[in-house]
Structure formats: structure tokens, C-alpha cells
């Protein structure tokens, strides 16, 4: 059996930057253990699989090298890019059905825009086990959503963090996000550490911004924001808060396309 495979760098307009995702279009679902094995073999933060429902609708699932996840932004962006760039999709909007509900993607001004649920965080007063040793730094405040959010005063502090994954894996959240105000036209910066889901540091994390956007929108008093994830690869995200939804826009570029050969 041969399956098409694409690798796309998301939230960037050039290869070797942004967040690489593998995308595997299917005509019907493979067993979950096979998709998990493919994701482990790809060894990227996420591998996305989608199956057409008809028209502009698709079912979409995401796997890290270790687990299936409920929401992934960059691999959704990459999947939309594959449909538009390589699979001749001609509609105005793509609708992906996922474990996080329907996710809509539109293309405009050279960027793809994800329409995702907003997941505002709540203040947290205690430092979870493993956090301070894992970051080697003390945040000024903590917030809790699907991920733990550690807020710092400056971009320089966020960039300087050298995570200790052996301690961060003890933090009982999906992942740890560190964030601070940005500079030079960037509203806020972030980094994302997810050793509990097999992703030591994710280069650019769309799903993290479902939590970061409502926090920074309230703090800065604005609904349109420009964000940068300051990992070693880096990536840019144009963000907007719209009620209980967030819009996350970015570029994507194909790195490779090929085939997976599975033994029948």
C-alpha cells in the first residue's frame, strides 16, 4: 500500500523555519495504531491525517510521535495548504471536523486563517511540581488552561530559558507555555514545551494561541495582535479575538512530497 505524504513548514513563508508538520491525505481511516506508528516514524511534532466527507468538509486527526491530540494548529494549517496547493481544492472555506469540533480555514492576502475555539486561562496561585526546576526561572504570574502558562516580564527572559525536560515532564498539564510582551511591533512572544506529549519544544504552536490570544487581548486592551514564537526556528502569527473564537493566520510552504510504503 502506498500513501501520499507531504511535509509542510507552517507559520512561515520559507523552508527551514516555522513548524514542520507531516500531512497524510487518506480515502478512509487507517487503524489508530498504524497512524501512531507513522507519526512516530516521521518524528515531527505532529502528523495530520484527513479523510474527505464530501464537498468542502473533511475529518481530521493529529498525532505526535507519542499520542493522539485533541487540537493542533500548525498541522491544521499544513493540511489546508496541502488541499489548496497540491490537491486542487477550489472552495472558499475548508471545514475540518475534529475532536475539538469544526475548525474552519480560509485563504486571504496570501495567508491561511484558522478559526479555532478560544480557551481563556485562569489565574493559578501555586507553582506545580517540576515547574521552577524545569524552567530555571521564576515567572511573575501563572495561568491555567489546557496548558500551563508562565508569564514573564520581558522577551529576553523567555528567549533565555533553557528547559530541563526531566523536571518539566512532572508538570501535570499537557504542556508549559512561557510568554512575555514583545517588542518592535510584536505584541507578545512565547515558547512551548510539551515533553508529556513527546514534544520537548514545539517551534510554533497554533493551539497554544487559543489560550494566549484571550489573555493578551484582555491585558493589552486590543483584539488584533501580532505574535511571534521565539523558538530556534521561529514563526509569526496574526491573531484576532472574536468572542468565543480566535482567528490565527500564517503562511505555509511545502518542504517535500512523497509516498509511504506500508506492507499489506
What are the grid coordinates assigned to 136, written together?
Answer: 530555571
C-beta of residue 221 within 8 angstroms of C-beta of residue 192: no
Q: Tell me the pairing of strands 235-242 and 224-229.
A: antiparallel
Please tell me the distance from the alpha carbon of residue 82 to that of residue 107, in angstroms, as a whole number. 13
- Of 256, 254, 255, 250, residue with least CA distance to 12: 250
Cα separation of 232 and 229, whole Å?
9
Q: Is 46 among the catalytic positions?
A: yes
Catalytic residue of the set 28, 33, 41, 46: 46
Catalytic residue positions, numbered = 46
Amino acid at each position: 500500500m502506498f500513501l501520499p505524504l507531504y511535509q509542510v513548514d507552517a507559520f512561515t513563508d520559507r523552508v527551514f523555519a516555522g513548524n514542520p508538520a507531516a500531512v497524510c491525505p487518506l480515502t478512509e481511516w487507517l487503524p489508530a495504531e498504524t497512524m501512531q506508528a507513522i507519526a512516530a516514524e516521521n518524528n515531527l511534532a505532529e502528523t495530520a491525517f484527513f479523510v474527505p466527507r464530501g464537498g468542502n468538509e473533511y475529518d481530521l486527526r493529529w498525532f505526535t510521535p507519542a499520542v493522539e491530540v485533541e487540537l493542533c494548529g500548525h498541522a491544521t494549517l499544513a493540511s489546508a495548504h496541502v488541499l489548496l496547493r497540491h490537491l486542487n481544492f477550489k472552495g472558499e472555506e475548508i471545514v475540518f471536523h475534529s475532536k475539538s469540533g469544526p475548525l474552519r480555514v480560509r485563504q486571504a492576502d496570501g495567508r491561511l486563517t484558522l478559526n479555532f475555539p478560544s480557551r481563556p486561562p485562569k489565574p493559578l496561585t501555586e507553582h506545580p511540581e517540576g515547574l521552577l526546576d524545569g524552567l530555571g526561572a521564576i515567572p511573575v504570574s501563572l495561568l491555567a488552561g489546557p496548558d500551563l502558562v508562565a508569564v514573564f516580564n520581558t522577551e529576553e527572559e523567555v528567549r533565555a530559558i533553557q528547559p530541563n525536560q526531566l523536571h518539566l515532564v512532572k508538570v501535570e498539564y499537557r504542556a508549559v507555555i512561557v510568554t512575555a510582551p514583545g517588542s518592535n511591533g510584536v505584541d507578545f512572544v512565547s515558547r512551548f514545551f510539551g515533553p508529556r506529549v513527546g514534544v520537548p519544544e514545539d517551534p510554533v504552536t497554533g493551539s497554544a494561541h487559543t489560550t494566549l490570544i484571550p489573555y493578551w487581548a484582555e491585558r493589552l486592551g486590543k483584539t488584533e495582535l501580532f505574535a511571534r514564537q521565539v523558538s530556534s526556528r521561529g514563526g509569526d502569527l496574526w491573531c484576532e479575538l472574536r468572542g468565543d473564537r480566535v482567528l490565527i493566520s500564517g503562511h505555509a510552504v511545502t518542504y517535500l512530497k512523497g509516498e509511504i510504503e506500508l506492507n499489506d
